[in-house]
A and B are shown apart, each in its own frame.
Chain A
Amino acid sequence: GAVVSQHPSRVICKSGTSVKIECRSLDFQATTMFWYRQFPKKSLMLMATSNEGSKATYEQGVEKDKFLINHASLTLSTLTVTSAHPEDSSFYICSADMQGGYTFGSGTRLTVV
């Protein structure tokens, strides 16, 4: 079946640095990808919708300058957490829209120290 490969699975960074998370669709083209954030023992909160070749659509309350999304090709979307702070520590998950079905990446555990 269709697979979305997400990297890295875990990252620890210092406060003030930037971190890039990648999601690649394998064996299919993902015109649309979604980025979610998940706090411990909580549900997934949609952060933004990423469309290939155009600007991402951010959910209310999500800072677009802090969470930069790039979807430059049909197989790759990236989320960059800029100037990370401890409160950005979370689990980030991407998902690709497969025309009615959704495939999720394995998630990235970000810890900002």
Chain B
Amino acid sequence: SQQGEEDPQALSIQEGENATMNCSYKTSINNLQWYRQNSGRGLVHLILIRSNEREKHSGRLRVTLDTSKKSSSLLITASRAADTASYFCATDQETSGSRLTFGEGTQLTVNP
């Protein structure tokens, strides 16, 4: 079952602005991952943050994890039109045996 909830469901910004997406989950996790999906395509892994980490950076991406609130955020800085895609968080739950549970996703549109 899907346990992740993401907000906003859709986000439209101008090029150069920052985009923040949030994800909440319900059970204890081993790690949380963020993926990107272009329309009609497969998923591309962006970043993984472990349950004992609080923040992680990768290029223009910054991910935070608050296990006390069971939430995570993905920040994309200096957005580009090419960042337009759907973004999903996925949790690797402690009891799931390596199965990922995906959030509902945020559709990001970056206008040139």
A42 touches B101 (CB 8 A): no
Size category, B interface: 20 to 34
Tell whether A106 is near chain B: CB-to-CB under 8 Å.
Answer: yes
- Residue A107 contacts which of B1, B40, B104 (CB distance < 8 angstroms)? B40
Given A43-B2, A93-B43, A105-B42, residue A32 in contact with residue B103 (CB < 8 A):
no
- Residue B104 contacts which of A32, A42, A102 (CB distance < 8 angstroms)? A42
How many A-B pairs with Cβ below 8 Å?
Answer: 50
Taken together as a complex, chains A and B put the C-alpha atoms of A76 and B110 apart, in Å, by 37
Size category, A interface: 20 to 34
Tell whether A75 is near chain B: CB-to-CB under 8 Å.
Answer: no
Interface on B for A, CB 8 Å cutoff?
1-2, 4, 33, 35, 40-45, 48, 88, 97-105, 107
